[in-house]
Structure 1
């Protein structure tokens, strides 16, 4: 494979980003079906919030009892409601969680050294200024009306909560402008799959 890389060691890394409900997970499933290992940083964050004692203590100290379950564990739904309605709270949570997430992500990439390409799903890639972590960045784009419909159906959010969630992230247009490539996920999954296959072929020098 003739891969153009920012880094000299390890696999070619694809950073996959996009706004909430844009279809990052769907893109990840397609990549897996095409033989590309996928690391989901959302899963890493969930693990950290459940098991990392340093992070758990920092979250409890910063946000208090209101984000805990009856058993004293972090309730991600309660925490989400707090941070999506308060910009400073969101920044505080990111400062607590991001360093541990980045370290774990790097470790998982190292474990996949035998693979020519590894994809990493990173919702806040640009917001966290992680561009230099990846050899290439793809933004998953979806028509805004479809985004809102997905959020209403999948997450059970009302229109006010939807606007809060979307407003808490960088706009789709900005993410599109900053990406190396854009996958339009507004149509069928087959169309999305074809776009991904084409870009993978270019990465491997087969196109």
Structure 2
């Protein structure tokens, strides 16, 4: 996306993407999380809110002027046309804000946290490598039920709308299996960080040679 070495970090809902991205941040990577950006866009005063109000009406806003995420989730899961309408508002803004954040990032390399990276052909071409956070489906279900207070069927319906575990594994250049053993994962993150740092340096050196 910026000519710099970048990693697209992805995984299914409840796989632990944020936890692992934070570990990379401690080693000095710049983290750009598209979910965080989407949240900012749909907060009170967020860039997406005028269009969301215009397209969906006040019914889909909370009292303080944010997007009502629960109500909107129910709508877009039930109606593909409405989902498309929301994506047409959010996706260009997410792309714009992601590029802005990348241009300002000062870390050794960039990590873009993109939940639906495998489902998006354009993202695959924007990053140098794809890192998939993997875990058992039952673990995903348990984590999301606890974290988001959803029923098992609600979690399963979200998972059905995402790429399968096998599709993500096939797309991965690197894979971290997250069964919850954070000390083991931390060791894997350290090894990958050193590898990514080295690849980032090589990219810079090759660029300087060409210049």
- Common fold: TM-score over 0.5: yes
1:80 to 56, 59, 73: 73
1 CA distance for matches of 2:32 and 2:59? 31
1 CA distance for matches of 2:127 and 2:93? 17
2 CA distance for matches of 1:67 and 1:8? 35
Describe the SS at the equivalent of 1:204. Answer: helix
Aligned residues: 197
1:139 to 110, 121, 132: 132
Structure number having the greater helix percentage: 2
RMSD: 2.1
The aligned residue for residue 113 of structure 2 is 121
2 CA distance for matches of 1:115 and 1:150? 30
1:36 to 4, 29, 42: 29
The aligned residue for residue 41 of structure 2 is 48
Please give the per-residue CA displacement for 1:132-171, whole angstroms capped at 9, x wherever unaligned.
Answer: 1211111111111100100111111112211111112122
Structure 1 stretches of 5 or more lacking a match?
Answer: 1-6
2 CA distance for matches of 1:187 and 1:49? 31
Describe the SS at the equivalent of 2:7. Answer: strand
Matches within 5 A, 1:158-173: 158-173=151-166
The aligned residue for residue 51 of structure 2 is 58
Structure 2 stretches of 5 or more lacking a match?
Answer: 200-211
1 CA distance for matches of 2:99 and 2:72? 26
TM, length-normalised to structure 2? 0.84
